[in-house]
Amino acid sequence: MKLSQEQVKQFDDQGYMFFPECFSAEEIALMSIEADNILKMDRPEVWREKSGAPRTGFAAHTFNEVFRLLAHHPRLVEPLQQVFGEPVYVHQFKLNAKAAFTGDVWQWHQDYGTWARDDGMPEPRAMNIAVYLDEVHPFNGALMLVPKSHKHGTLEAGHDLSTTSYPLWTLDESTVTRLCREAEEDGKPGIVAPVGKPGSVLMFHGNLVHGSAPNITPYPRKIIYLTLCAVSNHITKFTRPEFIAHRDFTPIQPVDDGALLEHARAHRVAAE
């Protein structure tokens, strides 16, 4: 998938790009079944909320073929190769559950703040790609972004070890308020929450400020976050487990665009 000049400009100006229904219903059905199975597993990669509900399944691309294919998918990999002008590797792979009624908050933060402080990533030349597995509504814990906040570099942050089960470098209220006011200056909203059908894809800059509210609805909101990093910008510090911050900097060779469908069809035939 090649980005148009307009898409690259939107990314530079606003810090994000949104692609509604980038994956088909059949591709998403395949990933959703695998995701539900993974979130039920008892293994170190599956982290739970304080309530015990699943929060995040890490590194599924290392032990699940469907997610290996997703992490090598040209619709995700090629745009990032284009933005960074070089090959990319998988820095992180997360399956965030935001379960019905129990999914907890993600405090306001910048991803690169964590990658720099915890992983020694030299520059913000990595970014998150969100693949929606469920419909993301305004009310089930949609990801909220502060447009243009990526232009402020890496902001001062505090290491929050207590709010949720997952440690995060978070921003204070006055910083978030200031950035929202700045985003509002040209009459636009200070916060956007791209909602959409399963299969939609959101790509956002490593320094874009974002967060999400708890999910108090009966509608689960599973999203995959694939973090791809420019190979020459690989991490230099290994403070977190390998399944959270990967140490294999091999450039990704994209698979065929139809790889997920081929896998779904082959397995359906095998099961019949």
Residue ranges in contact with ligand AKG by CB under 6 A: 94, 96, 98, 106, 111, 141, 143, 210, 212, 223, 225
SS3 17: strand
Query: For ligand AKG, which is the closer residue by CB, 150 or 255?
Result: 150
Quick one: 91 or 210, whose CB is closer to ligand AKG?
A: 210
State the nearest-atom distance from the C-beta of 87 to ligand AKG, in Å.
23
Least distance in angstroms from the C-beta of 54 to ligand AKG = 12
Give burial (CB, 10 Å; 0-12/13-18/19+) of 191: middle
87 or 214, CB closer to ligand AKG?
214
Both structure tokens of 34? 């695998």
Secondary element (H or E) of residue 158: strand 158-160
Please say whether the dihedral angle defined by the alpha carbons of residues 173, 178, 182 and 185, taken in this order, is positive or negative. Answer: positive
Nearer residue to ligand AKG within complex by CB, 94 or 234 = 94
Torsion of CA 123, 128, 129, 132, to 10 degrees: -170
Residues 98, 133, 87: CA angle, nearest 5 degrees: 105
In whole angstroms, the minimum distance from the beta carbon of 165 to ligand AKG comes to: 13
Closest residue to ligand AKG: CB criterion: 212
Q: Shortest distance, CB of residue 128 to ligand AKG, whole angstroms?
A: 6
User: Given the complex with ligand AKG, which of 30 and 143 has the nearer CB atom?
Assistant: 143
Question: Is the Cβ–Cβ distance between 62 and 206 less than 8 Å?
Answer: no
Distance in Å, CB of 245 to ligand AKG, minimum: 13
